[in-house]
Amino acid sequence: MLPEPLSNLELREPLFLALALLAPLVYRAARGHRSSLVYSSLRLPARGPRGWRARLAALPAALLGLAVLLVALAMAGPRIPDQSSIVRREGIAIMLVVDRSGSMDARDFVAGDYTTSRLDAVKQVLGTFVAGGGGLPGRPDDLIGVIAFGTFADGICPLTLDHSNLLAILDDVEVARDRGEGQTAAGEGLALAVERLHRLRARSKVVVLLTDGVNNAGNITPIQAAELAKAAAIKVYTVGAGRTGVAPIPVRTASGRTLLRPVAVQIDERTLEAIAARTGGHYFNARDQEGLAEAYREIDSLERSKLTERRYLQYRELYGSLASAALAAIMLATVLAGTLLRRLP
pLDDT surpasses 60 at 217: yes
Residue 332 counted as domain residue: yes
Query: Rounded to two decimals, what is the model's pTM?
Result: 0.64
Residue 221 counted as domain residue: yes
Q: Which residue has the higher pLDDT, 310 or 52?
A: 52
Let me know whether 114 and 71 are in one domain: no
Residue 196 counted as domain residue: yes
Let me know whether 16 and 103 are in one domain: no
Let me know whether 221 and 331 are in one domain: no
Residue 160 counted as domain residue: yes
Let me know whether 107 and 179 are in one domain: yes
Let me know whether 129 and 203 are in one domain: yes
Let me know whether 128 and 258 are in one domain: yes
Residue 345 counted as domain residue: no
Let me know whether 143 and 26 are in one domain: no
**Mean of pLDDT values over 220-227:** 97
In tens, the pLDDT along 286-304 reads 988 889 999 999 998 887 6
Residue 344 counted as domain residue: no
In tens, the pLDDT along 99-155 reads 999 999 999 888 777 789 999 999 999 999 999 987 788 888 889 999 999 999 999
Let me know whether 292 and 327 are in one domain: no
Let me know whether 274 and 162 are in one domain: yes
Per residue, what are the HEC states of the chain?
CCCHHHHCCEECCHHHHHHHHHHHHHHHHHHCCCCCCCCCCCHHHHHCCCCHHHHCCCHHHHHHHHHHHHHHHHHCCEEEECCCCEEEECCEEEEEEEECCHHHHCCCEEECCEEECHHHHHHHHHHHHHHCECCECCCCCCEEEEEEECCCEEEEEEEECCHHHHHHHHHCCCCCCCCCCCCCCHHHHHHHHHHHHHCCCCCEEEEEEEECCCCCCCCCCHHHHHHHHHHCCCEEEEEEECCCEEEEEEEECCCCCEEEEEEEECCCHHHHHHHHHHHCCCEEEECCHHHHHHHHHHHHHHCCCCEEEECCCCEEECHHHHHHHHHHHHHHHHHHHHCCCCCCC
Residue 126 counted as domain residue: yes
Let me know whether 115 and 250 are in one domain: yes
User: Can you give the CATH number for the domain in which 99 is found?
Assistant: 3.40.50.410
Residue 320 counted as domain residue: yes
Let me know whether 186 and 241 are in one domain: yes
Let me know whether 214 and 328 are in one domain: no
**Mean of pLDDT values over 2-23:** 73
Number of domains, the chain: 2
Give the residue numbers spanning the domain of 326. 4-83+316-338
In tens, the pLDDT along 268-291 reads 999 999 999 999 999 999 988 889
pLDDT surpasses 60 at 57: yes
